[in-house]
Amino acid sequence: MEAVKSKGPKLGMRHLQTLLLFFDIVVAYMARLNVGVAVVAMTNAETSNPDFPEFDWDEKKISYILSSFFWGYVATQFVGGSLCKHFGTKLVMCVSTFGSGLGSALTPLCVMKGGWQAFCAIRVATGLFQGMMFPCIHQHLAKWSPPQERNRLGTLSHTGIECGTVLALGVSGIIAESPLGWPGISYISGGMCFTWCILWWILGANNANESKLISKAERDYIESSLVRAEDFHQKKIPVPWRAIFTSKPFLALCVTRCCAVWGLSTMQHQIPSYMNGVLNMEIKSNALFSALPFLAMWILSYVYALAAEIIQHKQCISLTSLRKCINTMAFWLPAIGLVGIGFLDDDQKTLAITLMTLLVGLNSGTIIGCTLNTIDLSPNHAGILMGIANTTVSFMPIITPLVVGVIVTDTHSRTQWQLVFLIAASVFFVGNVIYLIWGTAKTQPWDAQDFLSTKIKLSSASNDKTNTTSLESSDHVKNS
């Protein structure tokens, strides 16, 4: 009890690990998203530095380049969870980020030699490496975050998504116009990834016991709060696959996260298209307007985290209730706004931009609402759960535009866009209802280290009892 009460330094190694996770997401997202700006500079030299080669790629080829990252990204989500469990998060995350940086650094050379096909290939490879990242991050958070600090540390690390997105949109354009030209975007992104790998290898650690820089007080606090045996980190816990795939709370979480990404994809990518077609506004070409929703998400993520911290400190509701309340705000408020935005006229452009920014910002509550829930359900298998969930989630940004393409045959038709927004709002509503019914923040029985061995023992004991009963019945018949 004394170890739990003594929290060590207010700023310790657990916070440094969180900061490293934050910057890992930042550099990874810059390497992921800078391609949007780079392609514009590569196909239209007048928009950047004209001293570098220009490529004559049509829209179809550009669409292949932009989507090719996700072809690889989907493939390694599941694998990433297993790898970080067997080899540790330190090694796997380093390989993931180094591979991403290498892909960025080699992009100019590959494009010069192999054209758009080589660009697609290097983007697929980058996606393969980055697919391992988030399962590792959740596994790392599970081993370093005391339960009462999980929301704070988890949110701080995940806000690297918004920071990396804003930097990718803003900085990439500046680099393209500089003497470095469009190749500089790739070189700087690669250099940032390599720099992070060096810092991570020096300062990162798989768990508190392995860290050479942590104080004894903080180590005892972390390990005691997680209630683990002394030899926990030396054991390889078998994965209860059947229990995971038949777990109602986990399946509900997967559905909820898919609904979250469906709605977010609609808000981020389809609302600007609606504004362009119906309200006669060009949002995508304006870097400031493009970055506003992500800035809102970044800011409101900290607001949600602070609110959750205050509520947890007062202990007025359970963690399950806290997650469901925040998730309801993050789902249902944007759902209402999505329906409303479809009724705005072209003389309400400022209101449309404000509403779009606010809706995306409010949705940032999904980090605390459902994203971190994988760690609640099973700290021991958090990486595996994240890998499974992210694999299913990664298909949503691919499916959503296809559905919109079927519905919206005329980009100027308000009625068609209203149907798109109504579908997204319905998805938000149903997804949260499922989470309210079956979601929970309670650790599941199959998280136990001895879950599988206990089941085997119980099954064996049951078989022995059955065999014994059968023999006794047989003897009784013979004696009769």
Q: Using one digit for the tens of pLDDT, what is the confidence trace for 10-27?
A: 788 999 999 999 999 999
What per-residue confidence (pLDDT) applies to 4? 42
175-179, 188-192, 434-438: range with lowest mean pLDDT:
175-179
CA distance 444 to 82: 19
CA distance 273 to 183: 29
CA distance 409 to 411: 6
CA distance 151 to 325: 14
pTM of the model: 0.85
CA distance 31 to 65: 14
- Structure tokens that stand for 139 in this block: 């596994």
Same fold, 14-228 and 240-467: yes
How many of the other CB atoms lie within 10 Å of CB of 240?
Answer: 22
Query: Spelled out in words, what is the top-level CATH class assigned to the domain 14-228?
Result: mainly alpha
pLDDT category, 51, cuts 50, 70, 90? confident
Mean model confidence pLDDT for the chain: 86
Tell me yes or no: is domain 240-467 CATH 1.20.1250.20. yes
User: What does the longest C-alpha to C-alpha distance in the chain come to?
Assistant: 102
Percent of the chain with pLDDT over 70: 89
Select the more confidently predicted residue: 348 or 382. 382
**156, 120 contact by CB (below 8 A):** no
Select the more confidently predicted residue: 452 or 374. 374
CA distance 145 to 21: 12
Spans of all domains in the chain: 14-228, 240-467
Asked if the model's pLDDT at residue 474 lies above 60, the reply is no
Nearest to 110 by CA among 121, 125, 100: 121
Estimate to the nearest angstrom the gap between the alpha carbon of 274 and the chain centroid.
26
Percent of the chain with pLDDT over 90: 50
Mean pLDDT of 305-311: 91
What per-residue confidence (pLDDT) applies to 480? 44
Half-sphere exposure of 185 (CA within 13 A, CB side): 32
What per-residue confidence (pLDDT) applies to 200? 96
Asked if the model's pLDDT at residue 330 lies above 90, the reply is yes
34-43, 369-378, 465-474: range with lowest mean pLDDT:
465-474
What per-residue confidence (pLDDT) applies to 397? 84
Which amino acid, one-letter code, is at 325?
Answer: C
Mean pLDDT of 244-264: 95
